[in-house]
Homo-oligomer: A and B are copies of this chain.
Amino acid sequence: MVKMNIIEAIHNAMELQMRENPDVLVLGEDVGPNGGVFGTTRGLIDEFGEMRVIDTPLSESGIVGFAVGMAVAGLKPIAEIQFIDFIWPAADQIFSELAKFRYRSGGLFPAPMVIRSPYGGGVKGAHYHSQSPEAYFAHTPGIKVVVPSNPYDAKGLLISAIKDDDPVLFMEPKRIYRAFKEDIPEESYEVPLGKANIVKEGYDVTIVSFGAMLHVALDAAEEAEKEGISCEVIDLRSIVPLDIETIGTSVKKTGRFISVTEAPKTAGFSAELSALVGERWIEYMESPILRVTGYDTPFPFVLEHEYMPSTGRVLKAIRESFNY
């Protein structure tokens, strides 16, 4: 066991996979001597050389498209997008190409690879260093979407993503990159994609979240406990594929549901979660199916903490749900 924060866990996952499999390589802006703007690739170029740790030109479409071509040839690239807010130049390569390569060719041309990218607000990043666009990718068949909320999962999920036979978008909660350390195994291990984690058991209200927001949900759940409301908190870990069963089991038990996500509300992934509850388990519901989300504005700067779901806002939703 070693103590690692999320950054270190991600670094470690890549390092181990690169040692194990010569087909794995890393590319992106500033991933070489600079080690990535957050340090996740620090030192990799020293161990693996610049053929395998590639500082690319400043073009996300280039990064993803180039990586797709590597994947077509059987390599396993890990493409870093410096901030997920800057992923849009690559939208065509992701939505039209990467996600559809296997399907459109009748299965003849798979192109599995990993895109890693820090996401999310709460770090004074403003407009373009704060967004949380998981819904765009979840709505795109053919790509898996994974978001860890702690170092253990970060390492295990990233290793699974690298070993996976499908394209995976691995979203990294930069707000908690260095927030805490955990004891995690030194060696390689996998956390399976598509399995949610019940972080806290409870029987009154089900709260579903992922990534950095999981901790806000958890804090609120603990506050609620003090008021005598017992919350079950589920960490999705994978958004696609989604662990519908775990959500269902919980909702059937509690009869109350809240999702907590930081993206804008309209058509966010929280809407999908609400929709699932409404179409599958409405008969169990004792109160409205709630969402605590970012507002439908571009991401602000000085008002970011007011914009994002906070313990207070989640707690308010818990009370509303419970006292309905």
B266 adjacent to A139 (CB under 8 Å): yes
CA distance A280 to B271 in the complex (A): 13
Given A271-B274, A278-B275, A95 and B100 contact (CB-CB distance below 8 Å): no
Residues of B within 8 A of A249 (CB): none
Q: Taking the nearest CB of chain B, how far is it from the CB of A282, in angstroms?
A: 5
A266 adjacent to B240 (CB under 8 Å): yes
Residues of B within 8 A of A95 (CB): 88, 91
Residues of B within 8 A of A139 (CB): 135-136, 263-264, 266-268
Q: How many copies does the complex hold?
A: 2
B100 adjacent to A96 (CB under 8 Å): no
Indicate with 1 or 0, residue by residue over A271-296, a CB within 8 angstroms of chain B CB atoms: 11011011110110101111100001
Q: Taking the nearest CB of chain B, how far is it from the CB of A237, in angstroms?
A: 16
Residues of B within 8 A of A282 (CB): 278, 282, 285, 287-289
Q: Taking the nearest CB of chain B, how far is it from the CB of A27, in angstroms?
A: 19
**In chain A, residues 84-135, which have Cβ atoms closer than 8 Å to a Cβ of chain B?**
85, 88-89, 91-92, 95-96, 99-100, 103-104, 127-128, 135
Q: Taking the nearest CB of chain B, how far is it from the CB of A321, in angstroms?
A: 10
Residues of B within 8 A of A242 (CB): 266
- Chain A: how many interface residues by the 8 Å CB criterion? 49
Indicate with 1 or 0, residue by residue over A159-185, a CB within 8 angstroms of chain B CB atoms: 000000000000000000000000000
Residues of B within 8 A of A285 (CB): 278, 282
Residues of B within 8 A of A289 (CB): 275, 278-279, 282
B88 adjacent to A92 (CB under 8 Å): yes
A323 on the B face (CB < 8 A): no
A275 CB contact (under 8 Å) in B104, B270, B283: B270
Q: CB-nearest residue of chain B relative to A101?
A: B298
A272 CB contact (under 8 Å) in B91, B100, B266: B266
A210 on the B face (CB < 8 A): no
- List chain A positions with a Cβ less than 8 A from chain B: 61, 85, 88-89, 91-92, 95-96, 99-100, 103-104, 127-128, 135-136, 138-142, 240, 242, 263-264, 266-272, 274-275, 277-280, 282-283, 285, 287-291, 296-298
